[in-house]
């Protein structure tokens, strides 16, 4: 009976470890969730258009992420009541980094088309996915 209980406990623990998401996957999910929150809170009218990278080249991921991080800092909340939640979401999303050198990339942030804040966030969401 003892062996059966130990086996069941071991089996249960091992299945829990296997089904748990990796820390990197959990971080990406959190960032995607915060981007979705930002999409609903961001100011669209009279907002600054932002350089939005699309279809990044393999060697340019670091530059692309840098462009998104610069653009994120320029976003503004639509309502002042959302300031605290908005700032928290901005801090979390700003932590996204790419560990790719990006040294061979010839494009700059200014070379990308300017888009509205919501389209900018959708582009960032596509990059994270």
What domains can be seen in the chain, in order of their start residue?
Answer: 33-96+113-128 (1.20.1250.70)
As a whole-number percent, the residues of the chain with pLDDT over 70 amount to: 84
How many other CB atoms are found less than 10 A from the CB of residue 78? 15
Question: pLDDT-derived band of residue 50, with 50, 70 and 90 as boundaries?
Answer: confident
Of residues 8 and 75, more confidently modeled = 75
Position 102 scores a pLDDT of 47
Position 34 scores a pLDDT of 87
Q: Is residue 51 a contact partner of residue 109, using CB atoms and an 8 Å limit? A: yes
Q: Is residue 78 a contact partner of residue 42, using CB atoms and an 8 Å limit? A: yes
Where is average pLDDT lowest: 28-32, 65-69, 100-104, 120-124?
100-104
How many other CB atoms are found less than 10 A from the CB of residue 13? 10
Question: What's the mean pLDDT when you consider all of the chain?
Answer: 79
Of residues 24 and 79, more confidently modeled = 79
């Amino acid at each position: 009976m003892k062996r059966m209980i130990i086996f069941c406990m071991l089996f249960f623990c091992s299945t829990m470890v296997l089904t748990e998401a990796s820390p990197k996957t959990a971080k990406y999910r959190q960032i995607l969730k915060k981007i979705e929150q930002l999409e609903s809170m961001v100011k669209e009218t009279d907002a600054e258009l932002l350089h939005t990278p699309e279809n990044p080249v393999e060697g340019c991921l670091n530059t692309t992420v840098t462009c998104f991080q610069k653009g994120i800092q320029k976003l503004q909340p639509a309502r002042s009541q959302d300031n605290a939640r908005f700032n928290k979401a901005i801090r979390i999303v700003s932590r996204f980094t790419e560990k790719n050198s990006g040294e061979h990339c010839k494009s700059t942030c200014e070379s990308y088309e300017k888009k509205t804040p919501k389209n900018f966030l959708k582009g960032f969401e596509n990059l994270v996915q």
